A and B are shown apart, each in its own frame.
Chain A
Amino acid sequence: MIEFSLNNAWLIPFLPAVAFALIVLVLRPLPRVSAFVSITCILISFIMAISIGIGVIQGGEKFVEEPFKKAVTWFSMSGLKIEMGFQIDPTSAMMLFVVTLVAALVQIYSIGYMHGDKGFSVFYAYLSLFAMSMLGLVIAPNLLQMFVFWELVGLCSYLLIGFWWYKYSAREAAKKAFITTRTGDFGLLMGILLLQIFFGTLDLQELAVRIPNFTEYGLTAGALTLIAAILFLGPIGKSGQFPLHVWLPDAMEGPTPVSALIHAATMVVAGVYLVGRTLFLFKTVPGAMAFVAFMGAFTALFAASIAITQTEMKKILAYSTVSQLGYMMLALGAGSLTASMFHLMTHAFFKALMFLGAGSVLHAMHNEADIWKYGGLKKYMPITYWTFLIGCLAIAGIFPFAGFFSKDLILEVVWANSTLSGHAHGPFQGLYTLLFIMASMTAMMTAFYMFRMFFICFHGELRDKHAHPHESPFSMAMPLVVLGILSVVGGWVGWPGLTEGKAFGYFVRMGEFEIVHANWTLIISSTVLALIGIGGAIAIYWKNAISHEELAKKFAPLYKLSFNKFYVDELYLWIIHNIIDGIGRALWWVDMHIVDGVVDGVAKTTKVLGSVFRRVQTGKMQHYALVLFAGVVVLVIIMSFADTSVASLSLLGGGR
């Protein structure tokens, strides 16, 4: 089984593709069958992913040093050869597991959530298409295959955000998501092209060998940094990093299972994954690393500061996702593939859990989005309540929940790069100190806004008197429980004490394996920060010791900035509508009046000339004869002066 799965890993994305094709072409009129086929396929993929995972763990060192790769030629010509295939190493095996797991759970959850929707079958078709694309991205052995599936997950995201396309808001959000990520993909594609031109390959393993010796390929460190920064635009768009984060909160217009699967657990981490896959490129040039780290930390703090004042559950979760993705980027920028991938995994568990929990609440409250209408939901929906609490504790980073381990590891690696640790080197250690402070602040704010939402929703009295909340059906509760368990134990695999240090970091890593020793000052201080955040939320939103309205009034300008998301959307809209569309309209004017004007001008001149020359045709024989005679005279004069090679024109009549 393990052997079979390893050798046929392409089946993992292929099975959902089959499901997609079957549903679209044949099964669409049969919703139940569609769901059954789709779920069966993803479950088989899930089982294969598990057996690959087991194989990789058994293989140990082997897969880290030499990933298992198989590929066939997709198309080729002299000087350009592109392959399609798969590459199995611990990182991709981990992602396969996470993606198939969350996808399977979300598909099961959707049976209940999408029950009775007109587009039930189509929904499953899209989910299968998404699973295919995401899994194809995960196993990609080269950057072009990654880009191909990267765009396809973008398409799925577009289709699923706009799933309820008859709503204006969904339609606009879908469009915004596609265009914003496309803007980033412009950079990604350019980066890929430049790598292809300079290094002559897009194969990840080949690039990993060639890039560190970039000077042999005619590049300077500055040029390589530039390439890395351009390439990074893609992840900025896909993973919702500042300044291209604007699409992700709007993406919550899609059905909630989609938000959980695509816009929290899997697709949005594609950017992080891509940077992780190409970390050898970024590591070669420290400037690029600092850039990645800074963008990550800034995004983390920026999004957290917005999340604090939002009033919709899914929006808060969306900004929290942006913030956590920033965290993962920060870890990569600090040079740790382990920390970033570890957080990616635990985040997938607890964020999917919280989104599905939010979906459960929305389901119960008949899609009322405003959290201030909720309250006291604890007694109506106990499963949702307890699992959501686990999620909040996990994201806040409280021991022993999953987020604690991964968040702590990130803080630790950033610490190690900063002046604080005392053994960092390089020109950017001062910057990393700043980033460490930003990350710690983010951790506190995260704990605060999560528990703010938690207390508003689940404690106190139900504020909307007309609502009749109820617990969700089994198909929706079951995934919550599974994810709840994983949000507790999921972090333990990173416990350094586990099996002689051969824990998560032993497998998913880049470079030599080092055991990270627990830094107690850091652990204690970060826990204290989280507790302060939670304490603040308790005081304000549960015990009502401090009035939140008073606070909002006191800091009115800050509150307004945060509530309005720093007006970034407004700024972009203004630029698009006034500048870009303005240029479009101006150029159209040019096209109509100048480019066309010249043509029409020529036409008009011809017309005028025509009316002039019309007079020549007098119809009198004598005039024509006169003109004819004059013409002959002129010709004779010309021929007598010119060289007679004009005679070669007669060749037209046959040249023998």
Chain B
Amino acid sequence: MDFPVLTVILLAPVVGALISVFIPKEESRIIKAVAGISTFISLALTIVIYFVYYTQHLDTGGMAFTEDIPWVSDLGVVYSLGVDGFSLPMLLLTNVIGFTAVFSRSWSVEKRAKEFYILLMILIVGVMGTFVARDLFIFFLFYEVVVIPIYIMVIIWGSGSKTKDVTKEYAGMKLTIYLLVGSAFLLAAMIWLYMEAAEMRGLPTFDIATLASLSSQFDQQFQIIVFGMMGFGFTVLLSMFPFHSWSPDGYAGAPTAVSMIHAGVLKKIGGYGLIRIGFFILPLGAKFWAPLIAILAVGNVVYAALICLAQKDMKYVVGYSSVSHMGFVLIGFASLNIIGLNGAVANMFAHGVMSALFFSMVGYIYGATKTRYIPDLGGLAHQMPVAAAGFVVAAMASAGLPGLVSFVPEFTTFVGAFKEASLRIPAIIALTGVVLGAVYVLRMVANVLFGPRKEEWDHVEDIRGSYWIPVVVLIAFIVTFGVFPSLLMDMVNSGMQPIAAKLVDAARVASQMGGNI
């Protein structure tokens, strides 16, 4: 295919942002429409290539829709893009959430809408770029693009909380510092990896596939250290316990659209990078660190779920719940087998759409009532039945109800984890998250939506107009992928196969070396 479809997907929001620059700032509706159209173009194209890949490339696997333009040839940097069964679900996720985030209600965005949407477009492009990059340098470049708009958006359009003494400036700063510290480790690990590889090949390259082909030549000590650094960077981004505390504060502080993108996809860059770069290039390192990841993953699931029970701020409930769900992803990673990896990656997708819907609904309610404090709310289903329906669907998906997107991934993750005898105990402990997860979401649903009518909320309006878009689109994805899980699982499976094969090879090498790992 000669048409550079990935570049077009990346450029559509950029063009949208550029057009917005020339629109007077009073015309916030037009700006929103431009943002909506440009993200919709990306979304539509992504759906097209998803189905093209699903129908044509699934059996062979590998990268498709590739583009290669040499950039800094001295350093071996190539602007190379491509998608496979792993990046496509992530790209789709980004676009679904990006498109719906534009139409979600953030109550403070009415002022300075122009800047907001421009930054949002940049953010979306940054996230998309990380998922389609085949070059480590490009990956990192896009990753850094992401951090800046997030910070600005949180401190300008964010909000504080009633339950915790946190200002939006603190939340934004904390989030940014965490991400930057993580990315510093990442950068160091990347450069080291790059240099080591360059020495081996005599030719510098940032190409991920080429680096991965060298994985059996990197010695074990090197893999363990570099994976450790890289793993730290990525798992901080994935909010692994005990480096998670930026995430609930950050989500609570951020405006709705940013919370959606951050919890929905940005976090997943951590998981994506960990697998695509960490596991793929440094399988021995992954093997070394997996037990630690498994233990911390249990911490994620149980610790965060218990904390959720004590929350009275809706955004904190969803924030900690997202930390808890990342535990399921991490335990799937730690299983190091194809079933667990499939489950974990599919779980990233599932959690993405589900938490986006959750944040969108919470944001809508917050925008309408100007409060997120649960005891202030109650009986809102009287005044806003549509928002209530969306909220309940999100809650049920969060509780892992079959027929919705997150059940099959969670089940698969646990099959993968149970397969490894050493992971059985952590997996059983993590399984209690299934019960706790139901407890905290249902409590919130009951206390926010149900119960007698409260007259003070009679003035609020239900979802209407373009606010319908997030509800309809996200529920459509949640239900479709829930009822037909093979749409997602086959894709992920094809993407995971080369990586799982690497891990199997590494296990064989390790056992030949006497199993001293």
Chain A residues within 8 Å of B, Cβ to Cβ: 73-80, 144, 147-149, 151-152, 155, 162, 165-168, 171-172, 174-175, 178-179, 182-183, 185-186, 189-190, 193-194, 196-197, 580-581, 583-585, 587-588, 591-592, 595-596, 599, 603, 648, 651-655
Q: Which one of B203, B342, B445 lies within 8 Å of A77 (CB-CB)?
A: B342
Question: Does B47 make an interface contact (CB < 8 A)?
Answer: no
Question: Does B20 make an interface contact (CB < 8 A)?
Answer: no
Question: Does B498 make an interface contact (CB < 8 A)?
Answer: no
Q: Which residues of B contact A581 (CB under 8 A)?
A: 309-310
* Cβ distance A335 to chain B, nearest Cβ, rounded Å: 30
A584 engages B309 (CB within 8 Å): yes
B493 engages A155 (CB within 8 Å): no
List, sorted by A's number, 29 A–B pairs whose CB atoms are closer than 8 Å.
Answer: A75-B408, A77-B412, A78-B493, A80-B415, A152-B403, A167-B451, A171-B446, A174-B446, A175-B442, A175-B446, A178-B438, A179-B438, A179-B439, A182-B399, A186-B434, A186-B435, A190-B428, A193-B415, A584-B310, A587-B307, A588-B310, A591-B245, A591-B303, A592-B164, A595-B242, A599-B245, A648-B195, A648-B199, A654-B204
Q: Which residues of A contact B307 (CB under 8 A)?
A: 584, 587-588, 591
* Cβ distance B321 to chain A, nearest Cβ, rounded Å: 13
Q: Which one of B199, B403, B418, B432 lies within 8 Å of A194 (CB-CB)?
A: B418
* Cβ distance B260 to chain A, nearest Cβ, rounded Å: 23
Question: Does B379 make an interface contact (CB < 8 A)?
Answer: yes
A77 engages B434 (CB within 8 Å): no
Question: Does B490 make an interface contact (CB < 8 A)?
Answer: yes
* Cβ distance A171 to chain B, nearest Cβ, rounded Å: 4
A584 engages B434 (CB within 8 Å): no
* Cβ distance B354 to chain A, nearest Cβ, rounded Å: 15
Closest A-B pairs by Cβ, 7 of them: A584-B309, A148-B402, A584-B310, A171-B450, A165-B450, A654-B74, A75-B486
* Cβ distance A650 to chain B, nearest Cβ, rounded Å: 10
Question: Does B311 make an interface contact (CB < 8 A)?
Answer: yes
* Bound form: Cα–Cα A566–B74 in Å: 79
Q: Which residues of B contact A77 (CB under 8 A)?
A: 338-339, 342, 412, 489, 493
Question: Does B29 make an interface contact (CB < 8 A)?
Answer: no
Q: List CB contacts (< 8 Å) of B163-192 with chain A.
A: 164, 174, 177, 191
Chain B positions 463 through 504: 1 when the CB is less than 8 Å from some CB of chain A, otherwise 0: 000000000000000000000011001100100000000000
Q: Which residues of A contact B486 (CB under 8 A)?
A: 73-76
* Cβ distance B439 to chain A, nearest Cβ, rounded Å: 5
Question: Does B443 make an interface contact (CB < 8 A)?
Answer: yes
B396 engages A155 (CB within 8 Å): yes
Question: Does B407 make an interface contact (CB < 8 A)?
Answer: yes
Q: Which one of B242, B401, B412, B435 lies within 8 Å of A152 (CB-CB)?
A: B401
Nearest to A77 among chain B residues (CB) is: B493
A168 engages B401 (CB within 8 Å): no
Q: List CB contacts (< 8 Å) of B407-461 with chain A.
A: 407-408, 411-412, 414-415, 418-419, 428, 431-432, 434-435, 438-439, 442-443, 445-446, 449-453
B407 engages A148 (CB within 8 Å): yes
Q: Which one of B204, B306, B403, B485 lies within 8 Å of A584 (CB-CB)?
A: B306
* Cβ distance A393 to chain B, nearest Cβ, rounded Å: 40
Q: Which residues of B contact A648 (CB under 8 A)?
A: 195, 199
Q: A147-B402, A151-B401 are in contact. Are A166 and B407 (CB under 8 A)?
A: no
* Cβ distance B391 to chain A, nearest Cβ, rounded Å: 13
* Bound form: Cα–Cα A583–B342 in Å: 33
Q: Which residues of B contact A151 (CB under 8 A)?
A: 401-403, 407
Nearest to A170 among chain B residues (CB) is: B450
* Bound form: Cα–Cα A653–B198 in Å: 12
* Bound form: Cα–Cα A652–B191 in Å: 9
* Bound form: Cα–Cα A592–B452 in Å: 34
B203 engages A655 (CB within 8 Å): yes
Q: Which residues of B contact A587 (CB under 8 A)?
A: 303, 306-307, 310
B401 engages A155 (CB within 8 Å): yes
Q: Which residues of A contact B432 (CB under 8 A)?
A: 186
Chain B positions 80 through 95: 1 when the CB is less than 8 Å from some CB of chain A, otherwise 0: 0000000000000000
B309 engages A152 (CB within 8 Å): no
Question: Does B57 make an interface contact (CB < 8 A)?
Answer: no
B431 engages A190 (CB within 8 Å): yes
* Bound form: Cα–Cα A653–B203 in Å: 13
Nearest to A155 among chain B residues (CB) is: B401
B434 engages A185 (CB within 8 Å): yes
B306 engages A583 (CB within 8 Å): yes
Query: Which of B309, B408, B419, B434: most chain A CB closer than 10 A?
Result: B309
* Cβ distance B196 to chain A, nearest Cβ, rounded Å: 10
Question: Does B34 make an interface contact (CB < 8 A)?
Answer: no
A596 engages B412 (CB within 8 Å): no
Q: List CB contacts (< 8 Å) of B277-318 with chain A.
A: 303, 306-311
A186 engages B431 (CB within 8 Å): yes
Q: A77-B338, A152-B401, A152-B402 are in contact. Are A599 and B450 (CB under 8 A)?
A: no
* Bound form: Cα–Cα A175–B414 in Å: 26
Q: A75-B489, A147-B402, A193-B418 are in contact. Are A651 and B195 (CB under 8 A)?
A: yes
* Bound form: Cα–Cα A148–B431 in Å: 17
B452 engages A79 (CB within 8 Å): no
